[in-house]
Every structure is written in C-alpha cells, then in structure tokens.
Amino acid sequence: MTAGLCSPNGAPLVSGTITKGYLVDGPIYSDADAEGEDPGSLNDSQGYITPVAARAVIVIECDDADIGEVACIFVRMPEV
C-alpha cells in the first residue's frame, strides 16, 4: 500500500509504502494524580497519557532513501 503525508497547503511531506501497522494496548481514560483535578478533561495529563494510552502506529518506508522510515503514532485521548 502506498502512502503520502501532505502539509496543510497540500505540499507532500513524505511518500512511500506502508510497511507496518499495529496497535499498542493501553488505557482509554487515565490521568496523572500528580496533576490534581483536571477540569480541562485531561489537558494537564497529556504528557502522562501519551506513552501509556492505547495507540495505533503506522510505519512508512519513504521513497527518499535519505529519510528512511517515518512512523505516525495516533494516541487515544477521550473527550470527556
């Protein structure tokens, strides 16, 4: 499968072939106790939740060999 990522103005950032795609298990809703009560719905806990939450990873082998592989990591952060 080929893939391409574009900037907001439509200019290509990378293009290539998707070589891997996988899910990483983790909680769907969690916050850092150290941040205290977070009325902003996890805004203060984003630094904590990014490495522990459920994630999806897509790896692209770029057409430009100087770039190599690029990974897109999608983090599940619920809106409460």
Q: How confident is the model at residue 26 (pLDDT cuts 50, 70, 90)?
A: confident
Rounded Cα distance, 58 and 60, in Å: 7
- pLDDT at residue 59 in the model: 94
- pLDDT at residue 19 in the model: 95
Q: What is the 3-state secondary structure (H, E, C) of 28-47?
A: CCCCCHHHCCCCCCCHHHHH
- pLDDT at residue 9 in the model: 74
Sheet harboring 55-62: ordered strands across?
Answer: 2-6, 12-24, 55-62, 69-75
Summarize pLDDT for 4-21 with one digit per residue, the tens: 666 677 767 788 999 999
Summarize pLDDT for 27-73 with one digit per residue, the tens: 776 666 666 666 655 666 677 777 788 889 999 999 989 989 999 88
Tally of helices (H runs) and strands (E runs) in the chain? 1, 4
Rounded Cα distance, 36 and 12, in Å: 41
